[in-house]
Structure 1
Amino acid sequence: MAQFDALRSGVSGARAAEIDQGLRAHMNKVYGTMSVGMLITFAAAWAISGLAVTSDPSLAAGQIGPDSYLTSLGVALYTSPLKWLVMFAPLLFVFGFSAGLGRMSAATAQIVFYTFAAVMGVSLSSIFLVFTGTSIAQTFLVTAIAFAGLSLYGYTTKKDLSAMGTFLIMGVIGLIVASIVNIFLASSALAFAISTIGVLIFAGLTAYDTQRIKTEYVAHAAHGDAEWLGKAAIMGALALYLDFINMFMFLLQFMGNRE
């Protein structure tokens, strides 16, 4: 917030009012793009899970419960070697998206973001096989409330949160490594630790990313960098989207009731 005030104070009153109005429009675009991405993700996850599981034995390619069967699609996605591609595709997509953003227009970046949201939905579709629909909905609601409060704090606080950014990013890298290791170890104690730390890290990142998006907007708006601002809204939406999804998934480990 201190950085925001310092940047804003360097322009005239009329220009400051224009920047404030532009900031509101920018944040609305960030949250709007993120929300559409979330809808695409959960719609894709629900649709894929519906195609992957059946109660009709004649369509079954594998059984996962007394009256629940995997279709051939379900077997391919969740039990064949393809599951590794489904699992890691979103991570690879994010790295590729970030690396190629400079060569994209804002419109192309938005399409790529929505495509990524659909890919993430395919990757997350297994939660509908593991957890009850009610517990998924309850966890989503809790995550939404927590996200709104943390993002509001990041937007309004006068405390500079930039110092915590490096620490949080290092924490994310550690979580990724620990999660990959635990795929092979299957340790419940390590899984619990990862989930606990993950909730805390992405709670902090939600506040940090919100403040960063706000500060970066003002820094570039003062120079009239319209093309950068268009793509910045997409990248801001991606950052907050990832914060929300990860916080939701870690909370689901605590709050989700298993089928």
Structure 2
Amino acid sequence: MADYRNATVRSVPAAGTRTDIDQGLRTYMMKVYNLMAGGLALTGVAAYALYALATTSDPAQAVGQINGVYFTELGAVVYQSPLRWVLMLAPLAMVFFLSFRVHKMSVQAAQTTFWAYAAMVGLSLSTIFLVYTQESITQVFFITAASFGALSLFGYTTKRDLSGWGSFLFMGVIGIVIAMIVNIFLGSAALTFAISVIGVLVFAGLTAYDTQQIKEMYYEGDGSAVMGRKAVMGALRLYLDFLNMFLFLLQLFGNRN
């Protein structure tokens, strides 16, 4: 994966160029946030659209059901066949592909891959509508949005160097993944609760950390192609932070159907 964080030693700009640099940085960060927000919107639309097409309230039209949720023919294929594993694993494959290949892509190809990834994530997350009420999903989304906004603003404006958080937060992510795999076999409600709490804290920290790192990736001398690829990777990092924080908060506060 291309590392855009410390690619070039920066010289201190002359005072007369500060306004141009600040304007360029704002434009760059707005592109990152707009891409991230667009990705989240696409994920939400894809998730709800698949859920709406895959379920029905009319038992006479249903071809299957789980826990009182009636499936259409599409729902039976998506949720009750091996295709569900494709929907689960395809986003993981795509995020690795984008991370390792972005430096060789055109900006348009990188953005297209990001949109495709966001849509695939939405399809895989359509199952949350089978588990949680739509009202609680909406409430948790807005809680996540408010928290994310505050944390990202902190990461952008703070003068404190957050680079020391990186290794600690990375170890936290690894620990969460290991704990989740273990809990597949244990099925412990207490461990699930602990994982969710730790997950919220870790991705809250990553939101501030990644925002500062994305800001520091900006360099006014970059060409449009390099800047565009940096914006896509920055949007991907913040998208993943938001999405994971949302899912862990949903496990904590979501009301189940």
TM-score, normalization by structure 2:
0.91
1:8·1:16 contact (CA, 8 Å) conserved in 2?
no
Aligned to 1:165: 166
SS at match of 2:13: coil
Match of 1:99 in 2: 100
In the aligned structure 2, how far is the partner of 1:227 from the partner of 1:28? 16
Asked if 1:236 corresponds to 2:234, the answer is: yes
Q: Report Cα offsets for 1:70-96 as digits up to 9, x if no partner.
A: 223222322323322222222221111
Partner residue of 2:65? 63
**1:202 is matched with which residue?**
203
Segment drifting more, 172-181 vs 231-240: 172-181
Instruction: Report SS of the residue matched to 2:156.
Output: helix
- Counting only pairs closer than 5 Å after superposition, residues 16-165 of structure 1 correspond to structure 2 as 16-66=18-68, 68-165=69-166
Deviation digits for residues 84-141 of structure 1, max 9, x if unmatched? 2222222221111111112211111111101100000011101111111110000001
Any unmatched runs of 5+ in structure 1? none
Q: CA deviation at 1:37?
A: 0.6
| Counterparts in 2 of 1:30 and 1:121: CA distance versus 1, 3 Å | same
Which residue number in structure 2 is paired with residue 254 of structure 1? 252
Q: 3-state DSSP class of the match of 1:161?
A: coil
Question: 1:54: how far off?
Answer: 0.8
SS where residue 63 of structure 1 aligns? strand
> Aligned AA for 1:224?
D
Distance in 2 separating the partners of 1:85 and 1:171: 27
2:52 counterpart letter in structure 1: G
> Kindly tell me: are residues 141 and 150 of structure 1, through their superposed partners in 2, closer, same or farther at Cα, counting changes over 3 Å?
same
**Cα 1:91–1:174 shift into 2, 3 Å:** farther
Taking every aligned residue pair, what percent have the same amino acid on both sides?
A: 55
Matched residue type, 2:150: G
Q: Secondary structure at the match of 1:69?
A: strand
Amino acid at match of 2:213: R
* CA deviation string 1:212-250 (max 9, x = no partner): 011110xx32x3343211100011011001100000000
Rounded to whole Å, the distance in 2 between the matches of 1:54 and 1:132 is: 16
Partner Cα separation in structure 2 for residue 130 and residue 137 of structure 1: 14
Cα deviation, residue 55, structure 1: 1.5
- Say whether the 8 Å CA contact 1:205–1:243 is kept in structure 2: yes
Q: Describe the SS at the equivalent of 2:119.
A: helix
The number of residue pairs the alignment matches comes to 250
Q: 1:87 to 1:81 in 2, by over 3 A?
A: same
Closer, same or farther in 2 for the Cα pair 1:41/1:147, shift >3 Å?
same
1:205 to partner: Cα distance:
0.4
3-state SS, counterpart of residue 88 of structure 1? helix
Query: Counterparts of 1:144 and 1:8 in 2: how far apart (Å)?
Result: 33
Letter matched to residue 242 of structure 2: F
SS for the counterpart of 2:66 is strand
